[in-house]
Amino acid sequence: MKNRSLVICWALLMMAFSSYAERHNRGNKNGMSTGKTTVADPNEENYDIKYLKFNLDVSDTSVYVSGNVSTTAQVTAFSMSSYVFELDTLMVIDSAKINGVTLPVASTGGTIRTMILPAAMAAGTFFTAQVFYHGVPPPGGGFFNGLSHSVSSGGTNMVYSISDPYAAPDWWPSKQEIDDKIDSVDMYITVPAGVVDGSNGVLVNVDTTSTPGYWTYHWQTHYAIDYYLISIAVARYAQYTSYLHFTGSTDSMLIQNFFYDTATFNPLYKANFDSLGLIIDYYCTLYGRYPFWQEKYGVCYTTLPGGMEHQTMTTIGVPNTYIIAHELCHQWFGDHVTYATWGDVWLSEGFATFSEQIFLNHFWGSAAALAHRQTYLTEALGDPCGEVYVTDTSSATTLFYQPTVYAKGQGVVTMLRYLAPTDSMFFQVLQNYQATYGFSNASTADLKAIAESVYGFNLDTFFNQWIYGKGYPVYKVSWNQVGSTIYVQLIQTTSCPSTPLFSTPLELELSSGATDTIIKVYNNADTTLYTFTWTPDMTALYFNPDIWTICRQLGGIVHDVTLGTGNVLPYQIKVLPNPSENYWEIYALPKGTALALTDMNGHIIWQGTSTNVNTTIIPATHLAPGDYLLKLSNGNDSQSIKLVHW
């Protein structure tokens, strides 16, 4: 999902994205630490939904809805004596049946409706509940309001649904539990003749003759779907279809879009949506085959101020390609693999926002992707105690909080990529995640376990700090050059007292004007002095230049001419050979200096202490080629030096 209201200023992209307009702030933190279970009543846990059949009458000029919904389910409790579901009190229930037998429906608090069964059903029993109802959903429009009616600037009436996160009972009798995916759905929507409905799955049939003056659209999906991803969108649409042919395969899939104002719809907007096939094909190379390819992907254009990732049929009201790419990514992250709890919502929104930069980098270039990361870094830094994991799931406002779930969430995904031993291993994590949890649900812990298995090292610190912890590191940065030795000092504080120290990789760029070099370091101390051998005359240092890490730079970068004198490591020190194949020898190291050799992710490989002999030998024969850091500590002083193994 993407909602738009804050103005984005991307200087590098102003010409390319002149239609970006604005982006909605998804809410404001209010300090609460409350949670909402996804069911309104514990008795809803007594059954597992297998199949839904909608048979509804809807128009494009009013949110009034009438008809019936059948729910086929299986009892999961030892015994179930009542059937409990949710439907807003503004909806009038005309009648209801269980297995064809009409039973009374009681309102038992809020949206909760209860039907007492004639006899208790045992575990494993299948049953069908059919609810006939009519009414006007609660007022509102756009996001988080069930059904919305709107009129386009060209005069087209439309009605569309948004059930995310807790609005499904506004318009249909439902069970709001995200880990109870429905196996299949038949959607029959009857509308005035000439009006079109766009919904999930495959359009099986349009009946234009059975009821004079009305058309009935029959949509069907056989892919597991979550309750909040079921949708309708009705308007006098024109249908635009095409086929994507997957690269390296003879398979193809339908792209089915519904646009209104066919005479006035901006041709540029349609051109943006015409790129869907290219984006789908590219995402397939990163995340695996588009999961619903045997049905379709498409969009229904509405006045929604953003987009909502309804499975196989996104509801969207913004034609910008980066939002198109965002909503498309949700078909993998959110729809195919749905988060296990609402607290894990970053697994959907964080990855979809991250995929915006992936799209921009591939189709618009690295400068566009860098500008994207800068924009979201600025937004993430705006909440000094923000945490990615949502502890207050009580409302849409707290669930879809822009600075953390979106901005910080995408930054965490970027850092997880930066931590990977190779870039291909990061995308292997994402593909394994899709393959393991597709058409089901996954938690943050599940993603962590897959990343650890692929990366080959523990990620407890990373997830504890960046997902469950608060805030981000703040750095004072200084540097100096003495001969061919570069000294860089980082002094770390944090934005939030609850996290006193972050352990994280960082990127430094050394510049001499004529040449630059990028160095990756690992920071896990409040004060660290890094030492590098670099012969060009250094003129500037750039900190976190490619914005791989969520952090704030405090003040300007200082050229401190005192660095490199009186430290643990004298500037005359010699490390030979460096690069090395078998070992490094360190000369003139003070006695009693503690040594720790780590990889660039901070994992300790070797430890030792210098003695009173002339040299200290660091073994290297067992190491893989690459860069390493040797941390030296003597009393309260510590610093690091980069070692290279080939």
For the residues of 343-362, what is the DSSP string, one character each?
A: GGTHHHHHHHHHHHHHHHHH
- Please state, in angstroms and rounded to a whole number, the distance separating the CA atoms of residues 324 and 413: 20
What are the beta bridge partners of residue 598? 604, 629
pLDDT at 635: 64
- What percentage of the chain reaches a pLDDT higher than 70? 92
What are the beta bridge partners of residue 79? 122
Nearest to 292 by CA among 272, 314, 266, 274: 314
Q: Where is pLDDT greater, at 13 or 412?
A: 412
> In this model, does residue 6 exceed pLDDT 50?
no
pLDDT at 626: 81
> In this model, does residue 514 exceed pLDDT 80?
yes
Across all residues in the chain, what is the average pLDDT? 91
Least confident of 124-133, 140-149, 331-340: 140-149
Mean pLDDT value of segment 234-250? 96
Band of residue 22 on the pLDDT scale cut at 50, 70, 90: very low
Provide the 10 A C-beta neighbour count for residue 90. Answer: 13
Mean pLDDT value of segment 116-141? 96
- Contacts for 37 with CB less than 8 Å, ≥ 6 apart: none
CATH second-level architecture of 574-645?
Sandwich (2.60)
**Contact between 399 and 51 (Cβ < 8 Å):** no
**Contact between 103 and 52 (Cβ < 8 Å):** no
- Please state, in angstroms and rounded to a whole number, the distance separating the CA atoms of residues 137 and 156: 21
Backbone dihedral angles phi then psi of residue 589, each to the nearest 5 degrees: -85, 130
pLDDT at 261: 81
Helix axes 423-437, 276-287, angle to 10 degrees: 90
Mean pLDDT value of segment 110-132? 97
CATH top-level class of 473-559 = mainly beta
**Contact between 315 and 299 (Cβ < 8 Å):** yes
Band of residue 326 on the pLDDT scale cut at 50, 70, 90: very high
Cis peptide, bond prior to residue 165, ω within 30 of zero: yes
Same fold, 43-235 and 473-559: yes
In order, the DSSP letters of 46-85 are: GEEEEEEEEEEE--SS---EEEEEEEEEEE-SSEEEEEEE
Our CA dihedral for 372, 376, 381, 383, rounded to 10 degrees, sits at 170
Q: Where is pLDDT greater, at 646 or 19?
A: 646
> In this model, does residue 32 exceed pLDDT 70?
no
Provide the 10 A C-beta neighbour count for residue 29. Answer: 15
pLDDT at 264: 79
Nearest to 597 by CA among 632, 639, 567: 632
Element (H, E) at 450: helix 444-455
Mean pLDDT value of segment 84-99? 98
pLDDT at 144: 87
Letter for the amino acid at 517?
T
CA-only gyration radius of the chain, Å: 29
- Please state, in angstroms and rounded to a whole number, the distance separating the CA atoms of residues 382 and 354: 18
- Please state, in angstroms and rounded to a whole number, the distance separating the CA atoms of residues 435 and 512: 47
DSSP state of 228: G
- Please state, in angstroms and rounded to a whole number, the distance separating the CA atoms of residues 430 and 145: 32
Strand ranges (DSSP E) for 426-539? 440-442, 473-482, 485-494, 504-511, 516-523, 527-533
> Which tens digits make up the pLDDT trace of 454-489?
999 999 999 999 999 999 999 999 999 999 999 999
Per CATH, the homologous superfamily of domain 2-35+336-466 is Neutral Protease Domain 2 (1.10.390.10)
> In this model, does residue 525 exceed pLDDT 60?
yes
> In this model, does residue 11 exceed pLDDT 70?
no
Nearest to 142 by CA among 347, 241, 251, 4: 4
pLDDT at 642: 78
Residue with tokens 């514990």: 42
Threshold 0.85, pTM exceeds: yes
> In this model, does residue 535 exceed pLDDT 90?
yes
Least confident of 124-138, 185-199, 365-379, 618-632: 618-632
Mean pLDDT value of segment 122-143? 94
CB burial of 340-357 (b: ≥16 within 10 Å; e: otherwise) equals bbbbbbbbbbbbbbbbbb
pLDDT at 48: 98
**Contact between 628 and 600 (Cβ < 8 Å):** yes
**3-state secondary structure (DSSP) of residue 527:** strand
pLDDT at 636: 58
Task: Give the tokens for residue 146.
Answer: 């069930």
Mean pLDDT value of segment 14-27? 32
Provide the 10 A C-beta neighbour count for residue 321. Answer: 22
Nearest to 181 by CA among 229, 230, 226: 226
> In this model, does residue 592 exceed pLDDT 50?
yes
Per-domain boundaries in the chain: 2-35+336-466, 43-235, 473-559, 574-645
> Which tens digits make up the pLDDT trace of 597-624?
888 777 888 888 887 666 788 888 888 8
> Which tens digits make up the pLDDT trace of 94-116?
999 999 999 999 998 899 999 99
Band of residue 37 on the pLDDT scale cut at 50, 70, 90: low
Band of residue 294 on the pLDDT scale cut at 50, 70, 90: very high
> In this model, does residue 247 exceed pLDDT 70?
yes
pLDDT at 9: 33
- CATH 2.60.40.1730: does it fit domain 43-235? yes
Task: Give the tokens for residue 594.
Answer: 């503690």
pLDDT at 123: 98
> Which tens digits make up the pLDDT trace of 560-579?
988 876 554 544 567 778 88
